[in-house]
Amino acid sequence: DDNILSLNTNVIKLSPSVSKEYQYLCNYITNNYNNSNIFIINDGSEQLTKMSKNIYDIINNLKKTSNANIYLNQPITLNNISKINEIMDISKENIFISLIKGEAQINNYLRILSNLSDKYDISVFGMKEWNNVEENIDYNYLKNIKLYLFSYFFIDYQSERVISFVEAYRQKYYA
């Protein structure tokens, strides 16, 4: 609960909640993918269907307040993905927020999008759980699409703050 964090100065949270992660993702997409066609795909499970509706609402609200020029489609289940090319747009980047679990389903989904990438510009945002099956994803599917897996623990070693920290650490601990 966010109230526990905000009301107690002695409590810290090392990783953001899933809802916070998706809030950040929605902000990122709304701010960085202007003039895009956005799809939210889920695997049909109750939990991920609910999450896809929440993401839809968040982006829709952000779109209204930021005047972003994006086309947001209603959430689609993986069962209906075969007809996706009927609503994709050749003139825009097609962004897929992907709420799909399971190695076989992920590979099938990426295969479908890879086949469409000859005709469409496609970017796929996968769940952080995809990091666990990354070595089993067929990389032939990834050649033509842009896949983004977000993570709260990524360290950007090109960042000035990180470089400064590493230098100070090495100097202090002779490492």
- Per DSSP, the residues of 12-80 read --SS--HHHHHHHHHHHHHHH-TTEEEEEEE-S-HHHHHHHHHHHHHHHHHHHHHT---EEPPPEEGGG
pTM for the whole structure = 0.80
CA distance 125 to 26: 11
- For position 15, what pLDDT does the model report? 74
Residue 98's pLDDT is what?
Answer: 93
pLDDT tens digit at each of 175 positions of the chain: 566 777 777 777 667 777 888 898 999 998 888 888 899 999 989 999 899 999 999 998 888 777 667 787 888 888 888 778 888 999 999 999 999 998 889 988 999 999 999 999 999 999 888 888 767 777 788 888 999 987 767 788 899 999 999 999 999 998 8
Q: What is the pLDDT of residue 54?
A: 92
